[in-house]
Amino acid sequence: MTPLLRILRTRIAAEGPIPVADFMAESLLHPVHGYYATRDPLGAKGDFTTAPEISQMFGELIGLCLAQSWLDQGAPASFTLAELGPGRGTMMADILRATARVPGFHDAAGIYLVEASAPLRARQAEALAGHAPAWLDHAADLPDAPLWLVANEFFDALPIRQYVRNGAAWCERRVGLSDDGLQFGLAPPAPVSALTHRLDDTKDGDLVEHCPAAATIIQTIGQRIADHGGAALIADYGDWRSLGDTLQALQAHSPVDPLAAPGEADLTAHVDFEALARATPSAHARLTTQGVFLERLGITARAQQLAEALSGTVRESHIAAHRRLTHPSEMGTLFKLLGLFPQTAPPPPGLDA
């Protein structure tokens, strides 16, 4: 039994079953035993890998997209360049390298990283030495200023609530006690105002997910962008509207039972991009697939250019990385790119339909 499983069992014995969101929040962010509090989970030796860790091309193209969007909006002399959940800091390092020759961009940028994990903050400080980033605990603390923001595989880590349809009401899925572990159960039906629009496309017994933290964060970001200018590029897996149970746990790159070893496995859920877009009525939202976005930004030309200097197995793994990021059977279609931008500004490159 993991230490966190013991703690959760004690809490549930005292309080009764807890929402899935509470289980997910404790598993990921418990200050002593939480998954992100205790490790760097990324890379081949970790539990999962991500687009910026697969190839430098991902962060480079995102960086050039941000810089073009900044130029398109008149190159404000001072702006916030922010990342949510920067992991090892790889994407921000690639963004900064790719934009080093964009006149004025670095001088105008104040770099902010929203990060909950102490071990990962340390990795980010190493990767970004020389750039003096500032760390924040919450997106709400971002300066009230023009904002260009990126987030890759951040929103999938935010705690979700799950509900099973029951007539015009919903039964919340909760985590309760089994003999020696944890098990799912359902609360009695109750109305849920955040799910009113889901009464149109669901039937009794369907499960839908709702991520209250995502809506709060996206409201802050959308408001900054609408008030002061800027753009957000949010990459993650999920669909325009999600249906069904997408909670998943990964350990050493393999799926495991989400309830079995809290604190030891990564927990994520698909991002419901429609819910993000609905939370920011004051900014434009546009969604495309990661594959299409990267192709529009010229990833194939960049891949060929990099390949010229490579040979042997390094060249082969570079070609495989290009395919992995863009191909529909790999990350190209499951992963999406949501762009937020002001009503009055052109969309960032790659999001122009």
Q: Which residues pair with 161 in a beta bridge?
A: 210
Q: Encode burial over 196-214: b for 16+ CB neighbours within 10 A, e otherwise.
A: eebeeebeeeebbbbbebb
- Closer residue to ligand SAH in complex, CB, 202/216: 216
CB of 136 to ligand SAH, least distance (A): 9
245 binds ligand SAH (CB under 6 A): no
DSSP calls for 212-250: HHHHHHHHHHHHHHHHH-EEEEEEEEEESS--S---EEE
3-state class percentages of the chain: helix first, strand second, coil last, to nearest 5: 40, 25, 35
CB of 137 to ligand SAH, least distance (A): 7
Residues 170 to 189: which contact ligand SAH by CB under 6 A?
A: none
**Using the rule CB under 6 A, which residue among 157, 261, 271, 338 binds ligand SAH?**
157
- Going by C-alpha positions, the residue among 97, 57, 65 that lies closest to residue 230 is 65
Between the alpha carbon of residue 294 and those of residues 51, 56, 131, 262, the distances in Å are: 11, 13, 26, 35
Site string for ligand SAH, 203-242 (x = CB under 6 A): ----------------------------------------
Site string for ligand SAH, 33-62 (x = CB under 6 A): ---x-----x-------x-xx---------
CB atoms within 10 A of CB 68: 18
CB of 54 to ligand SAH, least distance (A): 9
- Closer residue to ligand SAH in complex, CB, 139/292: 139
CB of 99 to ligand SAH, least distance (A): 18
- Closer residue to ligand SAH in complex, CB, 87/146: 87
Binding segment for ligand SAH (CB under 6 A), chosen from 85-93, 219-227, 285-293, 344-352, is 85-93
Given a contact cutoff of 8 angstroms between Cβ atoms, the answer to whether 265 and 250 are in contact is yes
**Using the rule CB under 6 A, which residue among 86, 229, 238, 263 binds ligand SAH?**
86
**Radius of gyration from C-alpha coordinates of the chain:** 21
Which residue number places its CB atom closest to ligand SAH? Answer: 85
CB of 304 to ligand SAH, least distance (A): 24
22 binds ligand SAH (CB under 6 A): no
Q: In sequence order, what E strands does the chain have?
A: 18-19, 79-84, 109-114, 134-136, 147-152, 161-166, 169-177, 182-186, 207-210, 230-239, 248-251, 254-256, 266-268, 271-272, 283-289, 335-342
**Using the rule CB under 6 A, which residue among 27, 99, 152, 162 binds ligand SAH?**
152
Q: What is the identity of the amino acid at 54?
A: I
CB of 122 to ligand SAH, least distance (A): 12
149 binds ligand SAH (CB under 6 A): no
Binding segment for ligand SAH (CB under 6 A), chosen from 59-67, 82-90, 174-182, 252-260, is 82-90
Cα–Cα distance measured from residue 58 to residue 45, given in angstroms and rounded to the nearest whole number: 21
**Token digits for 29?**
């962010």
Given a contact cutoff of 8 angstroms between Cβ atoms, the answer to whether 72 and 341 are in contact is no
Residues 107 to 146: which contact ligand SAH by CB under 6 A?
A: 114-117, 120
CB atoms within 10 A of CB 151: 24
Residues that bind ligand SAH (CB under 6 A): 28, 36, 42, 50, 52-53, 85-87, 114-117, 120, 152-154, 157
